[in-house]
Structure 1
């Protein structure tokens, strides 16, 4: 005896109900709608606030989630001395991570170049989203009234200011006749000091940081990545949350850029493998090649740039972590460990 299967014809009402099924973003928006606006923790510098503003806008556009920005003044922002005395770049993260873990904020926004590679994230947290990578180039900013516009125009002994040991090492590698000194502070304050005090003829800053603060017009020269290899995480904003907050984590995944995650995975795996400290001039830059391969360039320098280790390797994009570990191993074989250990903490 044959089996009789009965079916019911779809009605216009059924089709309407299917069309009205919530999208993932709408579903998450409803899950989070019965709670207060998400609190976005960030540093208080103009650039950091601009980054948080981008996250706030994307949360609204892609997830329909309301949020508010909570500025947190960190010890790294308040201290104008050597960062190593505060424990390195982690000084920019400690208070923000503490606020996240203790529930004072719901998510934390970081410039990934400031997230150390040798210190794990706070337990129970994860970087749930990386925004699309912006310009990684460093640029030259000359003081108002300067007659120079490029590094090559500047005579021997010209004073250049920078806050990064990586920049100092590469500037002196390219132009050992320059005089490079430390200049700390946020982007706005560094440019203000450059113009007001005339201590330096120029400073070197990140292009995307200038853009976020509306000061891109001050750049007079874009430095090629051959002269100034970027730091690990350059141009990338990361968003951290508590792993137990699954609805928030899912909302943040709507902001995540898969290509940027691939690039960051390669770079940060390399950085972790090198186990450098805050005074280690380390550069790392991952890119996609024209034929679809993942490329990773890594460099480790002495403080004055006179000695360095260099490696560049390629692999498939789905092997980003393996590529990062391999480049770190190649650098260590080429003497990176001795260079790093020879630099005082």
Structure 2
């Protein structure tokens, strides 16, 4: 079987996306010193569009052009933030996830220019976020704060904060780590206080399924516990059949002794209804754990709650 000599990695051109690609290039170079890599940049409709993502069909707006470059043979490998890859529909036919890299921090961080923690922000403070997951949880925990929509990559959001478009931001800790901006963090929020999105902190490597040379080259970058967590979480989201306006959150955790659990939550957009489930896999597969946790929330009325949210 032919070994890969050159792997062309397709990437969005934001600093965050390029930082993610550099991590993959470094890990590949350590594992296979003989393989060369090069970056194929694309700009996605999600990057160009500054309005409501729902009008573009939701999260897939960030992945369409990347998928097209892979399928057209213009690139061999794509690096995705797993949280941006829709779980309610399968990957494009002809592509496959060959590996999930070891998971980064899954928590959210508050960025406030004065260094204040969330509980210390004055009433009426404007929190920049367009995430329905964050908006619902803030409405539940801090109803005196006001969410204002903010889009763009993390660097451009930080720039908008600097010019006063918001008083504070909520951003992923892992994203701030990737772009070298952790000194901006005022507070790292607890998982109870701000439950993360499905797939948080996971980079997924996507290839064409018939490209065995690339698949063989990158499979060794995969991390087994991250695969178990990702598999459970994505099945959870798939069974819930949420849409891009549904505030759904959750995370699986693989323990050092091999046990696997999944915490899943569904919110009404105003934060007044919170459904919560926490299941352990026991002898269940990760897929079955995801299904069991979603069904526990459906028994609490998750299907009706999601169906009632306009989209």
Sort the TM-score into its range (normalised by shorter chain).
over 0.9
- Whether the 8 Å contact between 1:294 and 1:317 is mirrored in structure 2 is no
> What's the CA shift string for 1:209-251, capped at 9, x where partnerless?
0010010100010100001011000000000001111111111
> What's the CA shift string for 1:19-57, capped at 9, x where partnerless?
xxxxxxxxx8x7223xxx211011111111100111111
Which residue of the other structure, out of 197, 206, 210, is the alignment partner of 1:240? 206
Summarize the alignment of residues 98-247 of structure 1 with structure 2, pairs less than 5 Å apart: 98-143=68-113, 146=114, 149-196=116-163, 198-247=164-213
- Whether the 8 Å contact between 1:294 and 1:315 is mirrored in structure 2 is yes
Q: Give the CA deviation at 1:291.
A: 4.9
TM-score for the superposition, normalised by structure 2:
0.96
Distance (whole Å) between structure 1 residues aligned to residue 92 and residue 153 of structure 2: 25
Which residue of the other structure, out of 270, 294, 304, is the alignment partner of 2:270? 304
Distance (whole Å) between structure 2 residues aligned to residue 334 and residue 136 of structure 1: 26
Distance (whole Å) between structure 2 residues aligned to residue 248 and residue 311 of structure 1: 39
- Whether the 8 Å contact between 1:63 and 1:254 is mirrored in structure 2 is no
Distance (whole Å) between structure 1 residues aligned to residue 237 and residue 171 of structure 2: 21
Q: CA RMSD in A?
A: 1.4
2:4 corresponds to: 32
Distance (whole Å) between structure 1 residues aligned to residue 148 and residue 29 of structure 2: 42
Which structure has more relative contact order (CA 8 Å, sep 6+)? It is 2
1:313 corresponds to: 279
1:16 corresponds to: none
What is the number of equivalent residue pairs in this alignment? 310
Distance (whole Å) between structure 2 residues aligned to residue 176 and residue 256 of structure 1: 41
> What's the CA shift string for 1:183-202, capped at 9, x where partnerless?
11100000110011x23211
Distance (whole Å) between structure 2 residues aligned to residue 311 and residue 134 of structure 1: 23
Q: Give the CA deviation at 1:318.
A: 6.3
Q: Give the CA deviation at 1:155.
A: 2.0
1:325 and 2:291 are equivalent in the alignment: yes
Specify the SS of the correspondent of 2:186. strand
TM-score for the superposition, normalised by structure 1:
0.87
| Higher Cα Rg, which structure | 1
Distance (whole Å) between structure 2 residues aligned to residue 78 and residue 329 of structure 1: 37
Distance (whole Å) between structure 2 residues aligned to residue 308 and residue 250 of structure 1: 43
Distance (whole Å) between structure 1 residues aligned to residue 181 and residue 308 of structure 2: 37
**Runs of 5+ unmatched residues, structure 2:** none
Q: Give the CA deviation at 1:169.
A: 0.8
Q: Give the CA deviation at 1:76.
A: 0.3
2:15 corresponds to: 46
